């Protein structure tokens, strides 16, 4: 591959992997069973990224199951989202390049809820920080935090350098977090992730004192830890599959109810929201069931995006959850999300959301944020108006 006998794209991909392997001291490559490629929104890629993809698509092909992160817009309903036609044209060119490369146009940051769910111990190469933390911690699969190019390179070669979290010895906790706060909702897990991510940076926290955690709580915890910090793996004693791993000295910290309150306060700016969005990471079917119940018979009075994968939306259609959501005027934002879509260019200023990760990145785009529970996001969008 490196010598170019399997084509230009494969050679380029292998050059990227060899360079990475040399930097991190990997002794060899390892075969991967699945890849998740980030770097899909034209907002982040720009023309240089599009050109890079276009070049690879001339003779490159995915060798393993490869799914895609959200794009900057819904691929079908971008007009009703208010997306600029020039942006849409460029975004569709990006998607076309990925399609030619043989990637599944899944456009979700929760591939594990949409048919790409690796098993325990499988080597994978994923590039979406929230999904990386979830895959390592909850599924027990093994991946480093890949960037867009290195994940794509793994897809085109079926391999990744064997270093970092692919090795058992690097998966032991670096920090021990005693959770004293009562965690009552996924949003509390999100706030805790935000607090702990900031403290441990790219470490591996091991939480104790958490008796149980739902899929939605683990999903939002993964995202928050990976946004304020660079966490790619965590453990929860008695909950996650490798929580008994030990070795080395782990630094101790606590998460108290005061820390919880303070973190929530820090994630709230002033101003009345003009945009409400849930589904960061993309909603599970359970979250859509809750939204259907909360929105039934109500009308939203503000732009309200429900971000999820097409796969989960399809299940929601079948189970009858989509109808009350859509009848309320809320919009399904499949293929995209409030962070990777250019909503700041669409005139919105203050966003209400139930995700600490979304708050973090929306602020980076110059928006103000309100961090609310799912129930309060619905209340904010509807303000109790009954049909």
Residues at the site binding ligand F3S, with contacts judged by CB under 6 A: 69-70, 109, 130, 223, 280-282, 307, 337, 339-340, 357-358, 361
Q: Which is nearer to ligand F3S, 6 or 335 (CB)?
A: 335
d(CA 115, CA 127): 16
Handedness of CA 121, 239, 132, 277 (dihedral sign): positive
Q: Which is nearer to ligand F3S, 225 or 295 (CB)?
A: 225
d(CA 338, CA 336): 7
Q: Which is nearer to ligand F3S, 178 or 345 (CB)?
A: 345
Provide the minimum distance between the beta carbon of 127 and ligand F3S in the complex, in angstroms, as a whole number.
11
Provide the minimum distance between the beta carbon of 196 and ligand F3S in the complex, in angstroms, as a whole number.
17
Provide the minimum distance between the beta carbon of 352 and ligand F3S in the complex, in angstroms, as a whole number.
15
- Nearest alpha-carbon partner for 256 in 212, 191, 202: 191
Q: Which is nearer to ligand F3S, 130 or 322 (CB)?
A: 130
Provide the minimum distance between the beta carbon of 71 and ligand F3S in the complex, in angstroms, as a whole number.
10
Please provide residue 50's backbone torsions phi and psi, each rounded to the nearest 5 degrees: -65, -40
Neighbour count for residue 97 (Cβ, 10 Å) = 22
Provide the minimum distance between the beta carbon of 141 and ligand F3S in the complex, in angstroms, as a whole number.
18
Provide the minimum distance between the beta carbon of 75 and ligand F3S in the complex, in angstroms, as a whole number.
15
d(CA 241, CA 235): 8
By DSSP bridging, strand 159-161 and strand 29-31 are antiparallel
Q: Which is nearer to ligand F3S, 159 or 357 (CB)?
A: 357
What are the structure tokens assigned to 207, written together?
Answer: 């939480």
Residue 136 class from Cβ within 10 Å (0-12 exposed, 13-18 middle, 19+ buried)? Answer: buried
d(CA 298, CA 278): 17
* CA distances in angstroms from 319 to 300, 313, 331, listed in the order given: 22, 10, 18
What are the structure tokens assigned to 327, written together?
Answer: 């009848």
Helix (H) or strand (E) holding 261: helix 257-266
Provide the minimum distance between the beta carbon of 259 and ligand F3S in the complex, in angstroms, as a whole number.
23
Provide the minimum distance between the beta carbon of 370 and ligand F3S in the complex, in angstroms, as a whole number.
16
Q: Which is nearer to ligand F3S, 124 or 343 (CB)?
A: 343
Q: Which is nearer to ligand F3S, 68 or 97 (CB)?
A: 68
Q: Which is nearer to ligand F3S, 9 or 151 (CB)?
A: 151
* CA distances in angstroms from 44 to 50, 79, 97, 140, 341, listed in the order given: 10, 20, 16, 30, 10
Provide the minimum distance between the beta carbon of 72 and ligand F3S in the complex, in angstroms, as a whole number.
10
d(CA 37, CA 136): 16
Q: Which is nearer to ligand F3S, 17 or 109 (CB)?
A: 109
Provide the minimum distance between the beta carbon of 329 and ligand F3S in the complex, in angstroms, as a whole number.
21
d(CA 117, CA 212): 21
What are the structure tokens assigned to 358, written together?
Answer: 């979304």
By DSSP bridging, strand 34-37 and strand 125-126 are parallel
Q: Which is nearer to ligand F3S, 39 or 60 (CB)?
A: 39
- Contact (CB, 8 A) for 178 and 38: no
d(CA 350, CA 270): 9
- Nearest alpha-carbon partner for 255 in 195, 205, 214, 198: 195
């Amino acid at each position: 591959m490196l010598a170019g006998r399997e084509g230009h794209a494969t050679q380029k991909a292998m050059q990227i992997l060899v360079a990475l392997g040399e930097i991190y001291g990997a002794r060899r490559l390892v075969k991967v069973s699945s890849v998740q490629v980030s770097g899909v929104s034209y907002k982040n890629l720009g023309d240089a990224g599009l050109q890079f993809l276009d070049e690879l698509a001339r003779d490159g092909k995915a060798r393993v199951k490869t799914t895609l992160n959200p794009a900057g817009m819904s691929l079908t309903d971008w007009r009703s989202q208010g997306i600029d036609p020039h942006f849409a044209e460029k975004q569709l060119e990006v998607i076309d390049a990925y399609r030619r490369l043989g990637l599944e146009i899944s456009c979700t940051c929760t591939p594990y809820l949409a048919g790409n769910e690796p098993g325990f111990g499988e080597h994978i190469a994923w590039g979406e920080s929230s999904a990386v933390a979830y895959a390592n911690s909850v599924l027990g699969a093994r991946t480093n935090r890949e960037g867009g190019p290195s994940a794509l390179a793994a897809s085109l070669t079926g391999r990744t350098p064997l270093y970092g979290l692919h090795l058992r010895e690097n998966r032991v906790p670096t920090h021990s977090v005693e959770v004293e706060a009562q965690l009552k909702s996924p949003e509390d897990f999100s706030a805790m992730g935000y607090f702990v991510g900031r403290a441990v940076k790219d470490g591996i926290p091991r939480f104790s004192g958490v008796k149980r955690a739902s899929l939605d709580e683990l999903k939002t915890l993964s995202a928050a830890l990976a946004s304020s910090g660079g966490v790619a793996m965590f453990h929860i004693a008695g909950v996650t599959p490798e929580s008994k791993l030990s070795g080395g000295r782990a630094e101790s910290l606590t998460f108290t109810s005061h820390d919880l309150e303070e973190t929530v306060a820090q994630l709230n700016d002033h101003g009345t929201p003009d945009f409400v969005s849930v589904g960061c990471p993309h909603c599970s079917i359970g979250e859509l069931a809750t939204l259907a119940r909360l929105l039934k018979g109500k009308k939203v009075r503000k732009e309200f995006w429900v971000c999820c994968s097409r796969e989960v939306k399809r299940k929601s259609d079948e189970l009858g959850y989509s109808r009350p959501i859509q009848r309320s005027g809320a919009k399904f934002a499949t293929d995209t999300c409030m962070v990777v879509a250019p909503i700041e260019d669409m005139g919105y200023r203050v966003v209400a959301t139930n995700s600490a990760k979304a708050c973090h990145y929306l602020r980076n785009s110059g928006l103000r944020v309100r961090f609310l529970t799912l129930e309060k996001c619905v209340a904010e969008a509807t303000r109790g108006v009954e049909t």
